């Protein structure tokens, strides 16, 4: 018989005819779940080791199973393994290959477990491994941000609200705002890892098993903190996948916000930064173009990841306990989320340290838009003027500046004094951009000394 004519040996005894070829293809998951073959083999070795300890398998059977599984792993990694749709998934493909290699001992491996707890274990192991890789790439991006922030601690640029010039800040301070977003993302990622690091292995189909298994042993062998507490929840829970994708959606939203700013800053209208050519592309018709494709793609891929979060939430919303075939649909959105996040983090981690600030353009832009108006108001308040009166004085000063084409720092003392006799020569200490940023000299402020101190604190946190 061909593959499509055979009954699936994992459950075919109940059936009197082979699965329809379309249904076989429609229900199979091996086309995508093969990617956690390593985790499946590791879980099977741990399970077999436990079965031997409790007397279900002999030592000879354990050796045969372990050696056989390692041989299957070697074949997969060498590209010599033939995945079969008729065997549905990664689990049955590996088990069938094992049984073909070692005979009847291979059929004993599944004692005391079900594909329900097997896949729940595999996907946790896979996601745990991916979280650790993502955490490293996220830390690499954070390190790059800190290095750039330290380099640009004195670089003055306009700070915006409503995308209107508001107050001068330093470029280093702005970059540290991105760092704070990523720091929260890293914390969320570790919280997700902690909650998911419990072993469902041994929950079997839904009710546990009658065999004398040792779930604490398999949990320890696989690096889990402990076994899960309830067999029904163990096989049906996908909270960890939803939580990871929620983390990914927030992270991608942060990267998208940063991407939007990079895109604006590279434009001729802003001209704040240059991105190296290797992170940009050109136009097929306009030879002058240098398009910021990397940040644009990251911005676009955010919608993709957000969609995966909605997909997983919708997948789970009406499922009764315990396992349902619906849960096969959890893997593709999860896998794509992992891949997308890793690619976007890599792109950003490579790109951020290579950013070149166009300091003169930033400074000139900060001089426009009366960005030191708040400093003038604060100056008047320190001189005893009530804030509301100071606000009115500054408003009139700005109106005069618009009429005459002068920034506040470009006005003479006499021009400023026509709006308030409280203003004296020392006002120019706060109306300069340098004076404005230097005055914000407290934790969280934009003063260059504070930026450098914040970078040092952040580096110490990253080491821990």
Distance of CA 176 to the CA centre of its chain: 18
pLDDT at 403: 94
| Spatial distance between the Cα atoms of 139 and 404, rounded to a whole number of angstroms | 49
**Cβ–Cβ under 8 Å, residues 282 and 290:** yes
Instruction: Show the low-confidence residues of the chain (pLDDT under 70).
Output: 1-19, 283-285, 287-289
pLDDT at 2: 42
pLDDT at 148: 98
Omega within 30 of 0 (cis) for the link into 232: no
pLDDT at 284: 65
| Spatial distance between the Cα atoms of 337 and 222, rounded to a whole number of angstroms | 24
pLDDT at 15: 56
CATH classification of 369-463 is 2.60.40.1250, yes or no?
A: no
Across-strand partners of 356? Answer: 274
140, 114, 266: which is closest to 202 by C-alpha? 114
Integer-rounded Cα Rg, in Å, for the chain is 31
How would you class 232 by CB atoms within 10 Å of its CB: exposed for 0-12, middle for 13-18, buried for 19 or more?
Answer: middle
Q: What is the pLDDT of residues 410-445, one digit of tens each?
A: 899 999 999 999 999 999 888 889 989 999 999 999
The CATH number of the structural domain formed by 19-111 is 1.10.275.10
Across-strand partners of 158? Answer: 168
**Catalytic residue numbers?**
162, 283
| Spatial distance between the Cα atoms of 315 and 334, rounded to a whole number of angstroms | 12
pLDDT at 4: 40
Q: What is the pLDDT of residues 233-286, one digit of tens each?
A: 999 999 999 999 999 999 999 999 999 999 999 999 999 999 988 888 776 667
The pTM score is 0.91
266, 268, 260, 264: which is closest to 280 by C-alpha? 266
Q: Where are the alpha helices (DSSP H) in 273-417?
A: 293-316, 331-351, 359-367, 373-382, 387-404, 413-417
State whether residue 385 is helix, strand or coil.
Answer: coil
pLDDT at 1: 34
| Spatial distance between the Cα atoms of 451 and 434, rounded to a whole number of angstroms | 14
Domain locations along the chain? 19-111, 116-363, 369-463
Query: What is the CATH topology of the domain spanning 116-363?
Result: Fumarase C; Chain A, domain 2 (1.20.200)
Burial track 16-31 (b if 16+ CB lie within 10 A, e otherwise): eebbeeeebeeebbbe
| Spatial distance between the Cα atoms of 258 and 344, rounded to a whole number of angstroms | 12
Q: Where are the alpha helices (DSSP H) in 79-170?
A: 90-102, 104-107, 115-151
| Spatial distance between the Cα atoms of 247 and 345, rounded to a whole number of angstroms | 13
| Spatial distance between the Cα atoms of 419 and 406, rounded to a whole number of angstroms | 15
Evaluate whether 19-111 and 116-363 have a shared fold.
Answer: no
């Amino acid at each position: 018989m061909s593959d499509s004519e055979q009954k699936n040996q994992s459950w075919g005894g109940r059936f009197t005819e082979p699965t329809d070829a379309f249904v076989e293809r429609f229900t199979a998951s091996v086309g995508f779940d093969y990617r956690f073959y390593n985790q499946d083999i590791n879980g099977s070795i741990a399970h077999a080791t436990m079965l031997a300890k409790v007397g279900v398998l002999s030592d000879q059977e354990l050796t045969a199973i372990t050696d056989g599984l390692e041989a299957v792993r070697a074949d997969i990694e060498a590209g010599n393994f033939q995945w079969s749709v008729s065997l549905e998934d990664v689990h049955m493909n590996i088990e069938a290959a094992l049984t073909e290699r070692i005979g009847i001992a291979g059929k004993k491996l599944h004692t005391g477990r079900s594909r329900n707890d097997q896949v729940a274990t595999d996907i946790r192991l896979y996601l745990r491994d991916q979280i650790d890789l993502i955490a490293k790439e996220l830390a690499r991006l954070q390190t790059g941000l800190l290095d750039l922030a330290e380099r640009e601690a004195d670089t003055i640029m306009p700070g915006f609200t409503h995308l209107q010039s508001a107050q001068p800040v330093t470029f280093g301070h702005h970059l540290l705002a991105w760092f704070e977003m990523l720091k929260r993302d890293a914390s969320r990622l570790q919280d997700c890892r902690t909650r998911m690091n419990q072993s469902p292995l041994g929950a079997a189909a839904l009710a546990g098993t009658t065999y004398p298994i040792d779930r604490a042993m398999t949990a320890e062998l696989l690096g889990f903190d402990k076994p899960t507490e309830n067999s029904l929840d163990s096989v049906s829970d996908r909270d960890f996948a939803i939580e990871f994708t929620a983390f990914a959606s927030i992270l991608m939203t942060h990267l998208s916000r940063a991407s939007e700013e990079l895109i604006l800053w590279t434009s001729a209208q802003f001209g704040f930064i240059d991105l190296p050519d290797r992170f940009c592309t050109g136009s097929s018709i306009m030879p002058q173009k240098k398009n910021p494709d990397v940040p644009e793609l990251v911005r676009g891929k955010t919608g993709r990841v957000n969609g995966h979060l909605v997909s997983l939430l919708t997948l789970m919303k009406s499922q009764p306990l315990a396992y349902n075939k619906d849960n096969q649909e959890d893997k593709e959105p999860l896998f794509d989320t992992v891949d997308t996040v890793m690619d976007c983090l890599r792109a950003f981690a490579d790109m951020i340290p290579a950013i070149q600030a166009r300091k003169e353009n930033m400074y000139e832009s900060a001089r426009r838009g009366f960005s030191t108006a708040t400093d003038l108001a604060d100056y008047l308040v320190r001189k005893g003027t009530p804030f509301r009166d100071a606000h009115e004085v500054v408003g009139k000063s700005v109106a005069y500046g618009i009429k005459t084409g002068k920034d506040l720092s470009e006005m003479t003392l006499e021009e400023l004094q026509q709006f308030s006799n409280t203003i004296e020569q020392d006002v120019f200490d706060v109306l300069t951009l340098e004076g404005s940023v230097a005055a914000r000299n407290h934790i969280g402020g934009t003063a260059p000394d504070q930026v450098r101190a914040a970078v040092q604190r952040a580096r110490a946190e990253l080491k821990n």
